Structure 1
């Protein structure tokens, strides 16, 4: 994510800031322009969850309007966890908006979110992160760092974050959007496999027996090897990780001949360059983290097979929604 400027005084502000630290000006991010704007009404959710996006006609901002179900805010830490989950969602939506996805100018179908908690007035409940026909369920309980770390250990995962969850589930919805492009499915199946294979059976096999031997040659994570749908979602989430890493590094002044000042990773057409740059920056931060005893921020190996899939996803995602025809009923 790039570093922004206050529209009032020009001071430096970050994407999550609700007010300018220099002049005190309330900040309002407008997804339509991809920047903070000088005039704008507060989102209805600003007092409750610190939403800093500009309100639309409904009183909610573009991001909050996509959330149709929220957790019971009076139970436990649900309000805080909802706020953290929405903050992660806004970041992912703003990132995809750099390519034109899910902005007001995108005439295709938009995702719908259900923000649910395991803590309810009726007692504990199971909540599974999932996507189904455009509806994305997010378990806000995982906004709790200790809960998330415990589950990461239980599942043997190298990385588990709320932003990662949202990137993964949105990736499933993006698959639906891209299926309307006539050349997408044949190319997808040639690289990632037949997505019509029994999904439930594939996941049961994965959780029972684990990933197949040699999974790392062509899959970014063990879970990606479970089914072509998960291969797509995991790969797309990792592409978003890498592009955001580049954007942050360049914004912080970590520049090079390959990524000079002002370099825009979202305008880069060469997918392999994006992958190499993202991996190089990530390895650099890994090296810095180790100097003070912290873990790697990106503990993954990008083999040639994985890079081919990342480049494939980059080609389709970077082209934006203009590459996907709109159906006669207005959906994509």
Structure 2
């Protein structure tokens, strides 16, 4: 069995910006979401510029959302009431007075911080709404509205830099019901974030750029009527042979959705390989030693990723859980992933 050959080897924490962090006081391991060290009690703040944990002191100010939303990032400005690099993109946040909204908001914020972490690692442009009113990155975290005529649902989506997330997606029962209704193998908050940010970077890096023709050759012509294409997909489903050309059934709906789905998967892969590397995961005697965020050629990243997914899929099955990564990376998808990685590394960021 594959898992019999999977071993964890000791790993020296050298402060590299991987998904493994240490307490600045006692040097014990702390996690990305931790607000304090469970070993020594040191209050922590994530320094998004250095990608390390700092001890909270007179010179370290936490994000204004620390208490309400559980944000553990340091504020951009050392002034009380300031937001961090992630929360400065918030436009509308949930009404914390509504029962359940506080925990939903915290879940959504954690997924958003993980998203912003990746954008920082890639040095991708991420202007705020104040810096770019027309295309600045902003988030609305909204709940379905109940009125006299029934419930008005919030649609998760992207529009000119504004990403809207329905906070009900943080509820397991809601998310599972929607995943089942849409026959999806995978549905998570971080998946929503990564998908919608894919739409954002299509608008930022592809639309009207010299890359548009290469994009159309790989993904199709985005000028195809979106509403008609989406309705056709909902009515008829994906073509029977979609696994030979796309990463998911939904990716077949329209070239925009194909790009967003593929973008999300490249984020899954880069982050997954980084995590495997940071924990020195070894499979069949081969240790994963790659930085998926820095790689220009995706081939070695995929070569490292596939055995990890096979092992962890089997581990999940052993525990009675769904596969961790139930997707196939065909040749067409590989070409699309390479295109997206090329886009990322060609982009520059004025606010790294």
Shared fold (TM-score greater than 0.5)? yes
**What corresponds to 1:64 in structure 2?**
87
1:15-39 per-residue CA deviation (whole Å, 9 max, x = no partner) reads: 0111112221111112222222345
For residue 20 of structure 1, the aligned residue among 37, 49, 52 is 37
Q: SS where residue 302 of structure 2 aligns? A: helix
Which residues of 2 match residues 256-267 of structure 1 at below 5 A? 260=288, 263-267=290-294
**What corresponds to 2:229 in structure 1?**
202
Is 1:75–1:119's contact at 8 Å kept on the other side of the alignment? no
**What corresponds to 1:33 in structure 2?**
50
Higher strand share: 2
> Cα offset for 1:258?
6.5
Is 2:280–2:287's contact at 8 Å kept on the other side of the alignment? no
Distance 1:146 1:33, change over 3 A: same
Distance 1:181 1:273, change over 3 A: farther
Q: SS where residue 124 of structure 1 aligns? A: strand
**What corresponds to 2:12 in structure 1?**
none
For residue 238 of structure 2, the aligned residue among 202, 211, 214 is 211
Which residues of 2 match residues 213-232 of structure 1 at below 5 A? 213-232=240-259
Distance 1:234 1:180, change over 3 A: closer
Q: SS where residue 284 of structure 1 aligns? A: helix
Is 1:32–1:104's contact at 8 Å kept on the other side of the alignment? no
**What corresponds to 1:234 in structure 2?**
261
RMSD over aligned Cα atoms: 2.4
Is 2:296–2:345's contact at 8 Å kept on the other side of the alignment? yes
> Cα offset for 1:52?
0.2
TM-score by length of 2: 0.85
**What corresponds to 2:97 in structure 1?**
74
Q: SS where residue 266 of structure 1 aligns? A: coil
Q: Does 1:3 align with 2:3?
A: no
What is the distance in 2 between the residues matched to 1:119 and 1:182?
A: 39
What is the distance in 2 between the residues matched to 1:275 and 1:144?
A: 32
For residue 69 of structure 2, the aligned residue among 38, 46, 49 is 49
1:168-218 per-residue CA deviation (whole Å, 9 max, x = no partner) reads: 001100111103784321210111111121111110111111112312211
What is the distance in 2 between the residues matched to 1:284 and 1:155?
A: 27
Which residues of 2 match residues 140-219 of structure 1 at below 5 A? 140-179=167-206, 182-219=209-246
Is 2:158–2:199's contact at 8 Å kept on the other side of the alignment? yes
Distance 1:104 1:172, change over 3 A: closer
Aligned length: 322
Q: SS where residue 293 of structure 2 aligns? A: helix
Which residues of 2 match residues 65-144 of structure 1 at below 5 A? 65-102=88-125, 110-118=136-144, 124-144=151-171
Instruction: List, as ranges, runs of 4+ consecutive aligned residues in structure 1 with deviation greater than 6 Å.
Output: none
> Cα offset for 1:158?
0.3
Distance 1:104 1:133, change over 3 A: closer
Q: SS where residue 321 of structure 1 aligns? A: coil
Flag structure 2 segments of 5+ consecutive residues without an equivalent. 1-17
Q: Does 1:315 align with 2:332?
A: no
TM-score by length of 1: 0.90
What is the distance in 1 between the residues matched to 2:208 and 2:230?
A: 27
Q: SS where residue 267 of structure 1 aligns? A: coil
